[in-house]
Amino acid sequence: MVYYWITSITFFLTLLFFPLHTQQSSSEDTPPNILLILTDDQGYHDVSYYGTADLQTPYIDQIAAEGMRFDNFYANCPVCSPTRAALLTGRYQDYVGVPGVIRTHTDNSWGYLDPTATLLPEQLKMAGYHTAIIGKWHLGLESPNTPVERGFDYFHGWLGDMMDDYWTHRRHDINYMRLNGKEIDPEGHATDLFTQWSVDYIKSQADDNRPFFLYLAYNAPHFPVQPPQEWLDKVRQREKDIDETRAQLVAFIEHMDDGIGKVIRALKESGQYDNTIIIFSSDNGGHLPSKANNGPLRDGKQSMYEGGLKVPTAISWPGKITRGSISESSHLSMDLYPTLLELAGLEPKDSIEGRSFLPELLNGTQTSSERPIYFSRREGGIRYGGQSIYAVRLGNWKLLQNSPYKAYELYHLKEDPQEQHNLREEEPEKYEELNKLLMLHIQKGGQVRWQKPER
């Protein structure tokens, strides 16, 4: 009986404060819808807006053309889970228990999302947002770290890390496809499924008076690289001399870009495009064995060199962000958290390290104060031995350690953007300055549990 009355009261309050299926308010009365698109392992120059000759991404290009392109945007980490943790908490990943990749098997899992951290959807709900994640979660496989327990009203996608096959949707023979908390087994290419589910969600929100936050996290173009055959045929026909491995990746990305176009079209057809801010970014640099294009940058995914960290990023919002504008400022994935909160009229509930760049988005005003920015990644196996690698950037200077068994390296990125000339011996004072900053960061991260406590 008590449960019945609690349920009834909860349902009544929901209807009172969040009425369903009413006409959406005008943009003057409500904050904008938020569409956050995160791709997986997309290289810095694997977008055609940089002039990449063998690849066509018209819909990603459209976001950049209709808004602001970010040429110095960094993922928080050169691998998946840590960047996603930073993006959704506004904090450095090692400060919320995710220094490395969360995996199925505990003996090779290197993170446990802090259950007390406040995630972006939890905050946005305070401003009346309906919150949804479609696609890849990768921040926990069980309670309390599932999407619907961490602030998302709706989850339709993939709970785990990579897929072993984009058609059968399994990892280690486990099905991680979910609709909220229910296991599902849909048919079709994962990219197409996530696209269609997003289209359906956007259309369903057209008659809701609440703004929505849709976090669309594609697994693509993470390996295994499996484009539909018709997309691969199209690339082979167009690019006569293309390397076969590269052709597979180009087709994979172009197929995903077409899906992004369908999602944007759904916004326009449902009348929600003009009041929707669209963010496009990647979780880390491109995977070089898959022939990703990281432009002139050194190295790729997993690396603390620029090719592992710098990612293609663009943000549009009709009438609010200057079309075709370009930002040279250095921002991180975690900076999206306070930026979107400020956009929604909210202050971060927790102390965070992310910094809002909304003034730059809206009027081009860059934040003048220089700050150190840190990168970290913990991993197992023989190559890493359960240790971490790090980098810190301060202005144009960057100190990094790309292997736990090798010495730190120091570079001046303005004079040496390809990180070829190690200045550690030539600039001992700068090395000492950055090393001290990094040691403090490592100490703070060391205070946070990153393994699930035993019951």
The two structure tokens encoding residue 42:
């997309």
Q: How far apart are CA 33 and CA 277, in angstroms?
A: 6
Query: Are 395 and 264 in a shared domain?
Result: no
- Residues 131-171 have pLDDT tens digits of 999 999 999 999 999 999 999 999 999 999 999 999 999 99
Q: Check if the beta carbon of residue 169 is closer than 8 Å to that of residue 135.
A: no
Query: Are 299 and 389 in a shared domain?
Result: no
Domains of the chain: total:
2
Task: Note down the domain range covering 398.
Answer: 373-445
* Annotated catalytic residue, options 80, 130, 189, 287: 80
* Annotated catalytic residue, options 45, 130, 138, 169: 138
Confidence of residue 1 (pLDDT cuts 50, 70, 90): very low
Query: Helices H, strands E: what count in the chain?
Result: 12, 16
> If you average pLDDT over residues 13-36, what whole number do you get?
57
Does 164 fall in a domain? yes
Q: Is 138 a catalytic residue?
A: yes
Q: How far apart are CA 57 and CA 282, in angstroms?
A: 14
- Residues 400-421 have pLDDT tens digits of 999 999 999 999 999 999 999 9
Does 17 fall in a domain? no
Q: How far apart are CA 283 and CA 176, in angstroms?
A: 20
Q: How far apart are CA 383 and CA 370, in angstroms?
A: 34
Query: Are 316 and 216 in a shared domain?
Result: yes
Confidence of residue 29 (pLDDT cuts 50, 70, 90): low
- Residues 188-201 have pLDDT tens digits of 999 999 999 999 99
Does 455 fall in a domain? no
CATH of the domain at 381: 3.30.1120.10
Confidence of residue 370 (pLDDT cuts 50, 70, 90): confident
Does 11 fall in a domain? no
Does 19 fall in a domain? no
- Give pTM, 2 decimals: 0.93
Does 453 fall in a domain? no
pLDDT at 443 over 60: yes
Q: Tell me if residue 413 falls in helix, strand or coil.
A: coil
Strand partners, 326: 69
From the centroid of its chain, how far is CA 385?
27
- Residues 240-259 have pLDDT tens digits of 999 999 999 999 999 999 99
Q: Is 80 a catalytic residue?
A: yes
Does 14 fall in a domain? no
Query: Are 355 and 261 in a shared domain?
Result: yes
- Residues 281-328 have pLDDT tens digits of 999 999 999 999 999 999 999 999 999 999 999 999 999 999 999 999
Query: Are 312 and 218 in a shared domain?
Result: yes
What integer pLDDT is reported at residue 366 of this predicted model?
A: 79
